[in-house]
């Protein structure tokens, strides 16, 4: 038989795979060893050729293959090939997210040698040999380590008896001790409303949207569905928007399983050895629930029964490197091939998911009420145009009073401010120019080191610079740190509330999930009064002691030249309202210079579905996703503009029904340009275009 094999070689010329012959049956996803040039290399079988191609000559034979469980299942291989076609990347590029880095032989089950008696009454000499024989009587089979543990004998004694034929050795694949054990789940108690939603999800085989308001108990429904999958002998995957949130939900599922032994947490901070160990446990079936960010979707769950995307609206589910997949689309395809259930949960669904639910492509289950019949928090919108800040910008007097009130009552507050650093820009007061990073041509943000020394950081590239003594444009020494960030806000809060215990959660203070775990523990134990942070404090946190949640500046993002700008702001504001009043009456304060913006007004009034329907009408009128798909082509380097211009001319000359536009990207510093193609079938527009050296971004999130 002929098979197409994807080798571990990085040569771009064979990134689609090579054809080999095999005398023994092979299956897609199987690990093989194949000859390549003058070496024997690792390979994965992609597909089996149905008919022998008589045009192929001198086809090399597969050198060896494993007869055990394939590294990738048939459903995973089919999804991998779909990714390669849909996202315009090679199969090898798609394979990068499915398997750890080669050598792949390290992923195979470890071979174990066991020893048994060849004769029930052997003749042996010496106490050591006699002890070993006694340990193996009664048909026992023990490994070398077990024999050493029971008898203290060394390898030399074992080898001597093996050479005399007294004992025999057998080599077999190590079976994970938990692979055949099902955990006993502590089933969650569902409210009547949750039970209706759960039954609806369980009995509909389409992808499902669980549309539940904040604090409605979506996690309990996830737990019930996961328990069903365990009872059926299936594995589940739960995706969260970012790795910091894995620590928020892991405790709930440890209670479900009575421990952590059947749960694997996958994230980018794992070492290669930790990743391989987790991979083997999942592959062996010992893990029943995989929790992680978007890359956890590619865990080797061969018996997949359920995939859940929590907070499915989050833009972090889109991968911004090749392969530029979206976890939602890829999960839908994987579930289709694996016969698994897909659940998309959110209080503020993406327009793409909401539109499919309206068109009955997706099933929808609603949770319109908060868990425990808790009321929605009261929302107060503060118009910053009429506020006198003094030296406390961006803290308004009403917000300061509200924080003070919580401190006096022993309650907690969350402040959301989507800007890091001390100030948003360094401004020259004479020429009125901002100090620009040469790497991105965007303004530096001002930060402060632990010793109090200010410095500049480019958040798009990570580049840093010392504070200049004069303006590089006009040489003025009148430089002013304008605006504010979480670091400056932290300083202001400490000055205003010296008795308060303040925690800051941004990418400067949180580097790994363990730090997030410590932060959440402090909040739950009431060891902190105020949690200040960027987006990580908005997403899904369940902190019963919080009775005040505030958006320090809701306008950030509203003015971006992006068709998703309003949707993102609405989602952030609505999600934040869910952090307050989860166990007792709460309040939300939204500070803004644009109180009449529909995103602000509707979020404050909890009119989520009305906003989604209104935004969908605008998208339909303007011809943007999800009504009209988009493809983005990226050119980079010194001649990016010329290349993008030439592509635009070529695409428009085709006379296709697509709209084509060309512009520099906002964060590319003039060295990255984009060509946007909008239409009913933009993929057809690029079918005849030479895309060598061009980044193809299907269904892009970023278009600015």
Distances 461 to 2, 444, 457, 505 between C-alpha atoms, Å: 47, 10, 9, 21
Please determine, for residue 704, whether its predicted confidence score (pLDDT) is greater than 70.
no
CB 640 within 8 Å of CB 672? yes
Distances 546 to 413, 458, 674 between C-alpha atoms, Å: 5, 33, 43
Q: What is the pLDDT of residue 502?
A: 94
Q: What is the pLDDT of residue 215?
A: 85
Q: What is the pLDDT of residue 423?
A: 57
Tokens for 542, please give them: 């369940």
CB 179 within 8 Å of CB 288? no
Q: What is the pLDDT of residue 44?
A: 96
pLDDT-wise least confident of 87-91, 431-435, 482-486, 571-575? 482-486
Question: How far apart, in whole angstroms, are the C-alpha atoms of residue 272 and residue 282?
Answer: 15
570 contacts: CB under 8 Å, gap ≥ 6: 348, 599, 602, 603, 611, 615
Domains and CATH numbers, the chain: 2-102 (3.40.1440.60), 111-173 (1.10.10.10), 192-373 (3.40.50.300), 378-422+484-617 (3.40.50.300), 630-698 (3.30.70)
Q: What is the pLDDT of residue 636?
A: 93
3-state secondary structure 546-562: EEEEEECCCCCCCCCCC
Residue 634, classed as helix, strand or coil, is: strand
Residue 653, classed as helix, strand or coil, is: helix
* Largest Cα–Cα separation, the chain: 100
pLDDT in tens, 51-75: 655 566 678 999 888 767 899 999 9
Q: What is the pLDDT of residue 560?
A: 65
Please determine, for residue 677, whether its predicted confidence score (pLDDT) is greater than 70.
yes
What is the pTM for the complete model shown? 0.85
Question: How far apart, in whole angstroms, are the C-alpha atoms of residue 17 and residue 75?
Answer: 19
pLDDT in tens, 459-483: 667 788 999 999 998 999 988 765 5
Question: How far apart, in whole angstroms, are the C-alpha atoms of residue 312 and residue 353?
Answer: 9
Question: What is the rounded average pLDDT of the residues 240-265?
Answer: 86
Beta strands 454-457 and 695-698: pairing type? unpaired
Please determine, for residue 422, whether its predicted confidence score (pLDDT) is greater than 60.
no
527 contacts: CB under 8 Å, gap ≥ 6: 501, 521
Please determine, for residue 174, whether its predicted confidence score (pLDDT) is greater than 70.
no
Cis peptide before 626 (omega within 30 of 0): yes
418 CB neighbour count, 10 Å cutoff: 20
Buried b (16+ CB within 10 A) or exposed e, 263-286: bbbbbeebeeeeeeebbbbbbbbb
Distance from chain centroid for Cα 184: 28
Question: What is the rounded average pLDDT of the residues 243-269?
Answer: 85
Q: What is the pLDDT of residue 463?
A: 82
Q: What is the pLDDT of residue 424?
A: 61
Question: What is the rounded average pLDDT of the residues 301-320?
Answer: 96
Beta strands 341-346 and 304-310: pairing type? parallel
Distance from chain centroid for Cα 543: 23
Question: How far apart, in whole angstroms, are the C-alpha atoms of residue 616 and residue 603?
Answer: 16
Concatenating the DSSP letter of every residue in 134-151 gives HHHTTT--EEHHHHHHHH
Residue 446's pLDDT band (cuts 50, 70, 90): confident
Q: What is the pLDDT of residue 407?
A: 96
Please determine, for residue 93, whether its predicted confidence score (pLDDT) is greater than 80.
yes
Question: How far apart, in whole angstroms, are the C-alpha atoms of residue 271 and residue 261?
Answer: 19
Question: Which of 3-12, 359-368, 384-393 tops mean pLDDT?
Answer: 359-368
Q: What is the pLDDT of residue 344?
A: 98
pLDDT in tens, 364-398: 999 999 887 788 889 999 998 888 888 888 899 99
- What angle, rounded to 10 degrees, do the helices at 218-231 and 246-257 form? 50
569 contacts: CB under 8 Å, gap ≥ 6: 554, 556, 557, 558, 597, 599, 600
CB 209 within 8 Å of CB 354? yes
Percent of the chain scored above 90 by pLDDT? 51
Question: Which of 121-135, 532-546, 550-564, 681-695 tops mean pLDDT?
Answer: 681-695
Please determine, for residue 89, whether its predicted confidence score (pLDDT) is greater than 60.
yes
Question: What is the rounded average pLDDT of the residues 35-52?
Answer: 87
Residue 602, classed as helix, strand or coil, is: helix
Q: What is the pLDDT of residue 629?
A: 94
Tokens for 112, please give them: 């174990």
442 CB neighbour count, 10 Å cutoff: 18
Please provide the average confidence, as pLDDT, over all residues in the chain. 88
Beta pairing partners, 697: 632
Question: What is the rounded average pLDDT of the residues 247-257?
Answer: 85
Tokens for 424, please give them: 């948003």
């Amino acid at each position: 038989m002929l098979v197409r094999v994807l080798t571990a070689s990085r040569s771009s010329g064979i990134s689609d795979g090579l054809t080999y012959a095999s005398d023994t049956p092979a299956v897609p996803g199987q690990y093989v060893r194949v000859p390549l040039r003058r070496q024997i290399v690792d390979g994965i079988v992609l597909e089996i050729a149905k008919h022998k191609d008589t045009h192929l000559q001198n086809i090399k034979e597969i050198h060896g293959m494993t007869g055990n469980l394939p590294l990738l299942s048939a459903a995973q291989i089919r999804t991998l090939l779909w990714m390669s076609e849909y996202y315009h990347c090679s199969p090898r590029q798609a394979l990068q997210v499915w398997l750890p880095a080669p050598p792949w032989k390290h992923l195979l089950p470890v071979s174990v040698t066991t020893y048994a008696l060849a004769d029930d009454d052997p003749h042996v000499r010496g106490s050591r040999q006699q002890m070993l024989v006694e340990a193996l009587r009664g048909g026992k089979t023990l490994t070398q380590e077990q024999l050493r543990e029971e008898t203290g004998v060394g390898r030399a004694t074992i080898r001597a008896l093996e050479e005399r034929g007294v004992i025999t050795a057998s080599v077999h694949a190590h079976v994970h001790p938990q692979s055949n054990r099902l955990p006993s789940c502590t089933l969650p108690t569902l409210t009547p409303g949750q039970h209706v939603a759960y039954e609806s999800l369980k009995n509909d085989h389409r992808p499902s949207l669980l549309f539940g308001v904040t604090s409605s108990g979506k996690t309990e429904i996830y737990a019930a569905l996961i328990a069903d999958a365990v009872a059926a002998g299936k594995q589940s995957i739960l995706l969260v928007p970012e790795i910091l949130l894995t620590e928020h939900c892991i405790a709930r599922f440890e209670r479900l399983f009575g421990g952590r032994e059947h749960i694997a947490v996958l994230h980018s901070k794992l070492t290669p050895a930790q990743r391989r160990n987790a991979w083997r446990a999942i592959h062996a079936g010992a893990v029943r629930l995989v929790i992680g960010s978007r890359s956890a979707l590619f865990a080797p769950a061969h018996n997949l029964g359920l995939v859940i995307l929590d907070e499915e609206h989050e833009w972090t589910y889109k991968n911004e490197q090749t392969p530029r997949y979206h976890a939602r689309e890829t999960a839908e395809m994987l579930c289709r091939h694996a016969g698994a259930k897909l659940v998309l949960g959110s209080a503020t669904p993406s327009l793409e998911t909401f539109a499919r639910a309206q068109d009955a492509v997706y099933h929808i289950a609603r949770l319109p009420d908060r868990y425990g019949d808790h009321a929605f928090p009261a929302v107060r919108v503060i118009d910053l145009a009429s506020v006198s800040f003094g030296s406390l910008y961006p803290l308004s007097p009403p917000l300061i009073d509200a924080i003070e009130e919580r401190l006096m009552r022993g309650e907690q507050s969350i402040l959301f401010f989507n800007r890091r650093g001390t100030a948003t820009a360094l401004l020259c007061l004479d020429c009125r120019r901002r100090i620009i990073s040469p790497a991105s041509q965007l303004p530096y943000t001002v930060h402060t080191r632990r010793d109090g020394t200010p410095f500049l950081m480019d958040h798009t590239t990570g580049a840093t610079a010392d504070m200049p003594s004069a303006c590089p444009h006009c040489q003025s020494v009148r430089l002013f740190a304008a605006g504010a960030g979480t670091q400056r806000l932290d300083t202001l809060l400490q000055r205003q509330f010296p008795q308060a215990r303040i925690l800051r959660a941004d990418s400067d203070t949180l580097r790994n999930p363990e730090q997030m775990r410590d932060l959440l523990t402090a909040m739950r134990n009431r060891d902190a009064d105020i949690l200040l942070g960027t987006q990580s404090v908005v997403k899904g946190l369940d902190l019963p002691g919080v009775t005040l949640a505030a958006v320090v500046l809701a306008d950030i993002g509203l003015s971006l030249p992006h068709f998703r700008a309003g949707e993102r702001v609405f989602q952030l504001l609505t999600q934040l309202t869910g952090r307050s009043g989860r166990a007792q009456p709460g309040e939300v304060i939204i500070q803004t210079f644009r109180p009449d913006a529909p995103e602000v007004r509707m979020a404050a009034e909890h009119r989520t579905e009305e906003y989604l329907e209104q935004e969908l009408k605008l998208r339909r009128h303007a011809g943007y996703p999800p009504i009209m798909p988009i493809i983005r082509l990226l050119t980079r380097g010194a001649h990016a503009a010329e290349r993008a211009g030439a592509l635009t001319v070529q695409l428009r000359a085709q006379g296709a029904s697509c709209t084509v536009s060309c512009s520099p990207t906002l964060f590319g510093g003039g060295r990255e340009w984009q060509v946007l193609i909008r239409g009913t079938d933009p993929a057809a527009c690029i079918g005849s275009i030479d895309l060598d050296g061009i980044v193809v971004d299907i269904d892009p999130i970023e278009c600015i």
